[in-house]
Amino acid sequence: TSPGQSESRVSGAVQTNRGLLWALLQLTKSQRASVRQKASEGLLLLAGLLDGSSGELLPAAVSLAELLAERLQELHRLLPLDQLDATELQRWPCTSWRSEVEPGHMTSFFTWFDFLDHLMCEAPQVLSVQVSQSVHRRWLVDTLHPQLSHTCEKVVLVSTSMLCATIRLVQSSFLLDQMVHFLLRTPSLMRLLLRHCNHISDQISMASMSLVDEMLQKPHRDILDILVLSFLQSRCYVSAAADGQEDKQLETNEDSQDLDDDPFFSDGLSDGPPAQPINEDVVNSFLCLVPIQARSAHLLQEGGYESYVHDAHTLVTMCHALSLSWEWPQTLPCPTCLPEKDADFFEGDLLKVLFDRLGCILEQVRTPEKRTC
């Protein structure tokens, strides 16, 4: 048979009464793990048949994608939101669709999510795109969006924790694209998410910041661009001096000025020319501003500023490795800002929230939380 005839048969097999597809979907709901696994394998085989460039395959891919996304939406709606533990949900481990676990509402949802994620990694592009778009429309927009803007704090907390877990678990680039588009390119939702990072409820604040943290660890250039870099691109933070001499002099002068203004070191400075600062002094000066209870190094047997430097170096190394595929320019672009416009600088909603919270770190007062819907 010709390729065109094969594609017509595949398209017809999927669309006609949806018999085989419907039967496989019903079998994925079986109480027996072996039956669920065989049915899922059958769906993967069916998805693999939709491999081609002909327009005849598109209706079949749309039909299959809608049913798969509808199943995810159905499983989400079965979750008892008022009974879920947000902390457990946020830390939910990867539940493979091949695992033989006891069926439950949470397990069923994450198992099916893992199956769809795996399918979008393995299936032909025409189907992966359709499935990711259907998941975006049915699950993210129709189901999760109303919950994130709900008036009940419990619903907001659970839905945010759900997104935190799924962002951490997702592997498919197609699905990650749709989730990033949903969270960061829906203006009202992005503003809501960043406001939640400084919510009156500590739990919602921590869950929202954890969600942002999980996003920043994903291999997707738009995340860092939208949240941070788009606000900094026009700034003159690095000077392009010859041989880097001017950079070094500028850095030395700035560090010396910081130490002059630092009350911790003001008594020890002489009236003569400022000495070159020592890195250890700079870090220790910062540590004097952080309460002992808020430090992580004091938990280590040989804790000190070295642990902070090591953590920072590790994070920079990870970020560098993550950004290698993003084709960032190797040379500095010409600045587009004028010095007189510096006063209008806005660091972006995310950095503003983080700086505001850091500014209040010494003024925190713990009060019992009241949750009312």
Per-residue pLDDT of 33-78, as tens digits, reads 889 999 999 999 988 888 765 566 788 888 899 999 999 999 999 9
Share of the chain above pLDDT 90, in %: 43
Q: Average the pLDDT over 345-370 and give the result.
A: 77
Q: How confident is the model at residue 278 (pLDDT cuts 50, 70, 90)?
A: low
Q: Average the pLDDT over 212-236 and give the result.
A: 87
Q: Which of 192, 216, 218, 197 is nearest to 208 (CA)?
A: 197
Q: Average the pLDDT over 357-366 and give the result.
A: 73
Indicate the angle between helix axes 305-322 and 279-287, nearest 10 degrees. 100
Whether 112 and 71 have beta carbons less than 8 Å apart is answered as yes
Q: E-strand spans in 21-115?
A: none
Q: Which residue has the higher pLDDT, 291 or 354?
A: 354
Q: Read off the pTM.
A: 0.77
Q: What is the DSSP string of 243-259?
A: GGHHHHHHHHHHHHHHH
* Strongest mean pLDDT among 1-10, 82-91, 246-255, 331-340: 82-91
Question: Picking from 175-189, 274-288, 316-330, which range would have the lowest pLDDT averaged per residue?
Answer: 274-288
- pLDDT tens digit sequence for 249-266: 444 444 444 444 444 444
Share of the chain above pLDDT 70, in %: 69
Q: Is the pLDDT of residue 151 over 50?
A: yes
Burial degree of 361 (CB within 10 A; 0-12, 13-18, 19+): exposed
Q: Any idea which residue has 């672009």 for tokens?
A: 333
Residues 6+ apart with CB under 8 A from 90: 161, 164, 165, 207, 210
Q: Average the pLDDT over 131-140 and give the result.
A: 97
Q: Which of 183, 185, 172, 188 is nearest to 117 (CA)?
A: 172
Residues 6+ apart with CB under 8 A from 122: 44, 47, 48
DSSP-derived letter for residue 203 is H
Whether 148 and 186 have beta carbons less than 8 Å apart is answered as no
Q: Which of 215, 93, 207, 197 is nearest to 154 (CA)?
A: 207
CB atoms within 10 A of CB 288: 10
Dihedral class, residue 365 (left if φ above 0, else alpha if ψ from -120 to 50, else beta): beta
pLDDT computed for residue 363 by the predictor: 72
Q: How confident is the model at residue 163 (pLDDT cuts 50, 70, 90)?
A: very high
Helices (H), 267-346: 279-287, 305-322
Burial degree of 55 (CB within 10 A; 0-12, 13-18, 19+): exposed
CA pair distance 147, 207, nearest whole angstrom: 14
Whether 60 and 130 have beta carbons less than 8 Å apart is answered as no
What is the C-alpha R_g of the chain?
Answer: 26
Q: Is the pLDDT of residue 4 over 60?
A: no
How is the chain split into domains, by residue range? 69-231
Q: Average the pLDDT over 193-216 and give the result.
A: 94
Average pLDDT, the chain: 79
Q: Is the pLDDT of residue 365 over 90?
A: no
CA pair distance 267, 269, nearest whole angstrom: 6
pLDDT computed for residue 373 by the predictor: 56
